[in-house]
Structure 1
Amino acid sequence: MQLLPHKVGPVTLMRRLGTDGITESFLGILDEPAGKTVLVRRLIPGILKHPGRVADLDARLGDLLGIRHPSLVPVLREVSAGGERLVLEDWTDALSLERIIQWCVKHKQSVPHNVFLNLAAQICNGLEALHSRPGPSSGTEAVLHLALHPGSVWVGHDGKVLVGSFGLFRSPVMNFKKDSGSGSMRLEYMAPEQTHLDQKLGPPTDVFALGALLYEILKGKPMFRAESNLQTIHRIRRAEVTTHLLEVREAFPGLDRVLYRALSLNPRHRYQRAFVLREDLRGLMAGFSFSTIAEDTRAFLAPIFMRTRGSDEPTSDTPIGIRTSEPALGRECTPLPQTDTGVLLLAGMGSGPSFGPAGTGPTLRPGTPLDAPARAAFPT
């Protein structure tokens, strides 16, 4: 195991956060700008030994490096030093959706339906921000996420959602072992076509992963996870979701029809773009008040942030779950924009894609006064 801190080129790895089977993730500190905190994803040794993977990675990073959008975590740069390949992402002060789901399961709580729809619509906004851009380096018609799962979605205390931790290759199947458990690889969120290396991928690939993710937010359990990687892949290839959709119909009537289309085995039968799925989610909002959705979301998240911030941090053997400020490291963090999530939900639900210009929030240094919602979520 690598001793930390460990310097690689312009970044110092401070703490190991987890692994997804293809990369290891670390909290890192940049030399320039001095003290800037970043998420460092280090390619696991051996991943790039296969012929063609280096070119695939370079093309993928070329697509991601130029994307800036308020709903996406920026990929800042790629570092090659000392025989290692690192991908640096911006650091956000937020909880992963994975940790929120775990908290709900532990405390036997469910996500309120209006909060669920708010979070789901914002995830759609993030995916649409990707899908609306062609891949300049790969030549693809749309940039895909390729690895959407609860650990790649970040939620701020104000309910603002960011999508990040993009897949660096078309499928984690390239590195799985038939006799191992599902482990740290997120195979259960792949689309059926990702399990076949010769099938074309497109926006419906991410839509399938989104359908599986929405089921997990609602029910608190993965839809396709099995005892082994091979069994998980077999479940995905069959895409048998009838039993799961009956559970969804009982818990949230109407959502089952949305997930039925999102989780279709045939990509041509799914939603072809995330904003179309978002429109169907808007239809489920008829019984809720738009005027209180931001307040309801913050109220739901406040106890989760308070209790999670006081709990143990993830160990080196657990998946990434929280990105939190660490004044002791002299870090700066960029908070999520103070946006009314109710307005964001409405603005993002037009007849087609509707996105504002890219932007970033102000820099928050340790000791900066917090506003009222922040004080409620982060008591001192």
Structure 2
Amino acid sequence: MQRVGRYRLLERIGVGAFATVWAARDDELDVSVAVKVLADNWTQRADIRGRFLSEARILRKIDNERIVRVFDIGELEDGRPYFVMDYADKGSLDQRMDEGTIPVEEAVAYGIQAAEALSVLHQHGVVHRDVTPGNLLLRTDRDGKVRLVLADLGMAKALAESSGLTQAMGTPSYMAPEQASGHGFDARADVYAVGAVTYALLTGKPPFAATSMLDVTSRGPNVRPISLSAAGLDAPRAVDLVLTRALSHDPEQRFESATELARAFRTAMKGIRPDPPPRQRKRTGRAVLGWVGLALGVVVLFAGAFYAAYRMVG
């Protein structure tokens, strides 16, 4: 296959269970693009085709510089759908990690940009579900600056569920515990993933070793990642605190939103400690009885004082 529509294919840059991504050239507009093609073994599944194309529609609808943009959509002669999107000329954060040590300022800056991209996604009601260094791409803007953009939208997971595949999809080492367990999760799962990615950019490896969903779900709620200082990094203590909160086992203890996480990262780079997470206090029956007893005691005390004053006056 040399061409997809008017797009000349140059090299294959990504292969997954459901699609292949090619670096290509639009000779008519003289620009580089990326072309994503559904795998031929899923072409006849209407539900799979629908989910594949829904990713293109969501990306097109969002149309934000933080999210990979879609320019065109079509179908090959053999029936496989494809869509054309931004080409990331600087590769992914995975590739950036392979190049060597990433300075603290650069790594945290990527974390901020990833959180900002996810904030855009969440505003459109979409939870990514598969934020990894491989889905965070780097591309050069017209002004020459390298910008991080979010790709994939976690559609591989949705496709896996739709197809009935039993193997775990996604990357366990970047996955929030509640998501790995299959229980209800929300945008705070993406907050966890950004924390895990940023930690990996700083230290060279994810915060927790995990090769399966079981590794994630069996990890105790009080297990913490090795601190940045213990890992030999000269980073502000405040950054460590932000990561610890973002990577909390309990979503209630994490940052409420990706926007809040980005803000905390910026503040932490100034050496300012972030606000602690709210404490969740559970009222037990004994605690309730204690409050009732205290209230009754106060009532009795005031009644006694009133009666004594009455006798004195009388």
One-letter amino acid matched to 1:282: R
Say which SS state the counterpart of residue 267 (structure 2) adopts.
Answer: helix
One-letter amino acid matched to 1:285: M
Aligned to 2:297: none
Shift in Å at residue 213 of structure 1? 0.5
Say which SS state the counterpart of residue 99 (structure 2) adopts.
Answer: helix
* Counterparts in 2 of 1:224 and 1:78: CA distance versus 1, 3 Å: farther
Q: Tell me if 1:123 matches 2:128.
A: no
* Counterparts in 2 of 1:164 and 1:60: CA distance versus 1, 3 Å: closer
Q: Which residue among 214, 220, 228 is the counterpart of 1:248? A: 228
Whole-Å Cα distance in 2 between the matches of residues 276 and 170 of structure 1? 26
Shift in Å at residue 194 of structure 1? 4.0
Q: Which residue among 147, 162, 167 is the counterpart of 1:160? A: 147
Q: Which residue among 4, 7, 18 is the counterpart of 1:8? A: 4
Residues 61 and 168, structure 1, Cα contact 8 Å, conserved in 2 = no
Shift in Å at residue 34 of structure 1? 4.2
Residues 9 and 25, structure 2, Cα contact 8 Å, conserved in 1 = yes
* Structure with higher RCO (Cα < 8 A, 6+ apart): 1
Q: Tell me if 1:236 matches 2:216.
A: yes
Residues 52 and 159, structure 2, Cα contact 8 Å, conserved in 1 = no
Aligned length: 261
Shift in Å at residue 210 of structure 1? 0.9
Deviations 1:341-369 (A, max 9, x none): xxxxxxxxxxxxxxxxxxxxxxxxxxxxx
Say which SS state the counterpart of residue 27 (structure 1) adopts.
Answer: strand
Deviations 1:174-216 (A, max 9, x none): 48775x9x9xx6453333444466x444321211221211111
- Using the size of structure 2 for normalisation, the TM-score is 0.69
Aligned to 1:377: none
Say which SS state the counterpart of residue 122 (structure 1) adopts.
Answer: helix
Say which SS state the counterpart of residue 76 (structure 1) adopts.
Answer: strand
Whole-Å Cα distance in 2 between the matches of residues 191 and 43 of structure 1? 28
Residues 21 and 36, structure 2, Cα contact 8 Å, conserved in 1 = yes
Residues 173 and 195, structure 1, Cα contact 8 Å, conserved in 2 = no
* Counterparts in 2 of 1:153 and 1:76: CA distance versus 1, 3 Å: same
Q: Which has the larger radius of gyration?
A: 2
- What percentage of aligned pairs have identical amino acids? 23
Unaligned segments of structure 1, at least 5 residues: 134-141, 289-380
* Counterparts in 2 of 1:37 and 1:52: CA distance versus 1, 3 Å: same
* Counterparts in 2 of 1:85 and 1:193: CA distance versus 1, 3 Å: farther
Shift in Å at residue 68 of structure 1? 1.7
Q: Tell me if 1:143 matches 2:126.
A: yes
- Using the size of structure 1 for normalisation, the TM-score is 0.59
* Counterparts in 2 of 1:287 and 1:193: CA distance versus 1, 3 Å: closer
Counting only pairs closer than 5 Å after superposition, residues 61-100 of structure 1 correspond to structure 2 as: 61-81=56-76, 82-100=78-96
Whole-Å Cα distance in 2 between the matches of residues 265 and 126 of structure 1? 23
Shift in Å at residue 170 of structure 1? 4.1
Say which SS state the counterpart of residue 286 (structure 1) adopts.
Answer: coil
Whole-Å Cα distance in 1 between the matches of residues 93 and 221 of structure 2? 22
Aligned to 1:212: 196
Shift in Å at residue 49 of structure 1? 5.9
